[in-house]
Structure 1
Amino acid sequence: MKIKTSTRISMIFSIFTFFIVGTILILLNVLSFFAWYDEERNDITKKMESEYAEVLEESSDITIQRKKMLKELSELGGYFSQGSHREQYNQVFLEIYSREDLFFVIHQQETKFGDILIPYDVSTHAYSQVRGIKIGVLLLFIFTILSFIISKLLFTKLALKDIFYISKKLKDIDLNHVEKIDLHLNKNDEINTIVDSINNFLDIIEQNTKSLKDFNSQVAHEFKTPLMVISSELEYLILSGKNNESFGKIERQIDVLNELLETFLFISKIENFKGDIKKNTIDISSIIKEKTDILKKIYHSKGIKIVEKIPGSILLTTNKKLVEILIKNILDNAFKYNKQGGKISIIFDKNTLTIKDSGVGISKKNLSKIFDSFYRANTKGKGYGVGLNIVKKITNILDYKLEVKSEKGSGTEFKIIFK
């Protein structure tokens, strides 16, 4: 059975209280006993000495031997019962006489010292001590139960006040406006450590929420262009009656839309990618040429010149799907952000693929942000799309090194170093 935290705290507090109060009661009882013991011992000693003197006076004909065993019964005139004198030593008498330690018993009996028998009774105080212990134990259990109830109703509420506040704040979180939790506690406070961890997670949630909003905006933007092309081409077909070239454009834009959908679905998969990926030996050279030819057709109106320095065959053991998306996205950015009549250089040398364009380039301010999810340098203009974010994720998954150099107005250079 699982116990609530507040109940568990109350139980621990009550058990701790039980042992502390119980220990205090035992100490008080012991101190009370010894306080009585010292005083009672002196009183009884004086009483015994007085009675002893009276016995001596009444039995002057009996000689008390203090350092030897008692005499035989016949010599003492039958004063003791048969055999008792063989068990007695005058040392007992000496201890009483010199006021050394006394030993008390609960039930009435005869205390023997020397050859004189003097009865005394301490049972009344002993019974009083026992009653005190019983009452103390009863009070201890009552106090423990009360401490549990009080701690449950009051103490735990005060102790967990900050936890309840944190819980309420978390329940009231608005993803459109994530507000951090601030309890104004000491930085070394245990609860403040929890608050810091929660605030860190809230930062991540806020960033992811912003990324999701940007994602939605980017999806709408990316789909808008091909849909506009399709719409205009269809309108042209209806008005002109010509169809061959327009059908080709529509088909290409439909391919773009399909590829965008696959890309967005792929993002959701690689965001939380775990485990080993499937690898095969592939020819990167053929992938580069294939993707370049496709993009040349899409951006043919720009008149971009392609300069290739690639071996006839580049074999690499890797995941084909990931490498295809990786190369395609870097090439797509080189085409998309290039100048009219610009140039793209594609070079492979010593396990390094270099793709350099003569496009608009990227400012130093924005260069460190181009791999952020759906980052846009200017919300009113074109951004870097989703491609570079995917490029970064794939290089991390495949453990490749990615380098980028760029200057505003001088183009951009990407390097993929295959390991």
Structure 2
Amino acid sequence: MRSSDRIFFIRSVLAFSVAICFVALFGIALWEYLEESKVWFIVPLLVTSLIIGYLIVSYTLSSLFKTNRFLDILLKDTLHELNIPLSVINANLQMLQADEQDVKKLKRLERIELASKDLYTLYQEVDYYIKKEIQSDVREKFYLDELVTKVVEKQKEMANGVDIFYNVLHVELFADKHGLAKVISNLVHNALKYNQNHNPLSIFQEEDTLIIKDQGIGMSEAELFLAFNRYYQGDTTKEGYGIGLSLVKAYCDEFKIAMRINSQKNVGTEVILDIAYLLNKK
């Protein structure tokens, strides 16, 4: 525990201890002096407790609120400034790649380009969460097939030879685009991670549902029951922390996407997302 956290903890404990003692003494005093209508002393006692509690908690948490405001401003300012060096890196990288002929140096530049893309992805991730916190509605219009194509192209980098087939209609959605991309990306990533024998996986649309189907290791009924628990992993030898499906569930609950999972051990898993609520019906 940091020294600042320790001081904050001690201050909070002392403050609440004083508040409890004061309220207790106040209650005892009222109980002694009120003979007939002792029940009514509860009302002023509660009001006094609330006022004292509010004042004390406001005082003890003021430093925490101040620190949070500072960190919030620092994060937003840093994120804004981060976009500038990223643009400079990409612009100069393109010029170096255009002029370079040496194969080894080009490979090094490609690694730098991949690292730059990863950094930009992290930038977009933080930017998304900040916008979601500031704005009450982060929904926008976009096309489902374009989103799925983008997700699949990115996941192909980690597919290790597994084919990803997709057939999605050019339908317009009105939704949290970044959030839905994370949902599909997590589901595809899981299908790739638990794949067996390099069997292909499919993403397709049936009316108002989007389906991600694989021929992986599958899940038993007991595993299905635990699948959305945060940090749960069916196979702890695989990479990751068991967070992906809990994020998928949280997004689907927030944006009213009904989700069903059909799975059978050693046969495969089928995730069905009802996207009817997201369709931009004019």
Range class of TM-score, shorter chain: 0.5 to 0.7
Query: Share of identical aligned residues, percent?
Result: 22
Distance, in Å, in 2 between the alignment partners of 1:405 and 1:378 is 18
Q: Which residue, 192, 203, 213 being the options, matches 1:346?
A: 203
Q: Which residue, 262, 266, 282 being the options, matches 2:142?
A: 282
Matched, 1:413 2:270: yes
Q: Which residue, 159, 165, 182 being the options, matches 1:307?
A: 165
Distance, in Å, in 1 between the alignment partners of 2:271 and 2:134 is 26
Stretches (4+) displaced over 6 A: 266-270, 272-275
Using a 3 Å threshold, how does the CA distance of structure 1 residues 332 and 297 change in structure 2: closer, same or farther? same
- Give unmatched runs, 5+ long, in structure 2: 1-18, 38-102, 278-282
Tell whether the 8 Å contact from 2:128 to 2:178 is kept in structure 1 after alignment. Answer: no
Matched, 1:296 2:170: no
Q: Which residue, 174, 192, 198 being the options, matches 1:335?
A: 192
Q: Counterpart of 1:12?
A: 30
- Give unmatched runs, 5+ long, in structure 1: 21-240
Using a 3 Å threshold, how does the CA distance of structure 1 residues 304 and 314 change in structure 2: closer, same or farther? same
Using a 3 Å threshold, how does the CA distance of structure 1 residues 406 and 385 change in structure 2: closer, same or farther? same
Where 2:26 maps in the other structure, the secondary structure is helix
Once the two structures are TM-superposed, the CA of residue 417 in structure 1 deviates from its matched residue by 0.6
Task: Give the partner amino acid of 1:354.
Answer: I
Task: Give the partner amino acid of 1:347.
Answer: F
Once the two structures are TM-superposed, the CA of residue 343 in structure 1 deviates from its matched residue by 1.0
Distance, in Å, in 2 between the alignment partners of 1:396 and 1:344 is 25
Once the two structures are TM-superposed, the CA of residue 371 in structure 1 deviates from its matched residue by 1.6
Once the two structures are TM-superposed, the CA of residue 6 in structure 1 deviates from its matched residue by 2.1
Where 2:155 maps in the other structure, the secondary structure is helix
Q: Counterpart of 1:326?
A: 183
Compare relative contact order (CA 8 Å, sep 6+) and give the higher one, 1 or 2.
2
Q: How does 1:110-259 map to 2 (within 5 A)?
A: 242=104, 244-245=106-107, 248=110, 251-252=113-114, 255=117, 259=121
Task: Give the partner amino acid of 1:344.
Answer: L
Once the two structures are TM-superposed, the CA of residue 411 in structure 1 deviates from its matched residue by 1.4
Q: Which residue, 365, 390, 411 being the options, matches 2:222?
A: 365
Distance, in Å, in 2 between the alignment partners of 1:257 and 1:366 is 35
Once the two structures are TM-superposed, the CA of residue 315 in structure 1 deviates from its matched residue by 0.6
Q: Counterpart of 1:49?
A: none
Tell whether the 8 Å contact from 1:377 to 1:383 is kept in structure 2 after alignment. Answer: no
Tell whether the 8 Å contact from 2:252 to 2:258 is kept in structure 1 after alignment. Answer: yes
Larger helix proportion, structure 1 or 2? 2
Deviations 1:8-49 (A, max 9, x none): 2222222234x69xxxxxxxxxxxxxxxxxxxxxxxxxxxxx
Where 2:156 maps in the other structure, the secondary structure is helix
Using a 3 Å threshold, how does the CA distance of structure 1 residues 261 and 275 change in structure 2: closer, same or farther? closer
Using a 3 Å threshold, how does the CA distance of structure 1 residues 243 and 274 change in structure 2: closer, same or farther? closer
Where 1:399 maps in the other structure, the secondary structure is coil
Once the two structures are TM-superposed, the CA of residue 398 in structure 1 deviates from its matched residue by 1.0
Task: Give the partner amino acid of 2:162.
Answer: I
Larger radius of gyration: 1
Deviations 1:227-283 (A, max 9, x none): xxxxxxxxxxxxxx94555664675466457646866x599879x979842222210
Distance, in Å, in 2 between the alignment partners of 1:384 and 1:6 is 47
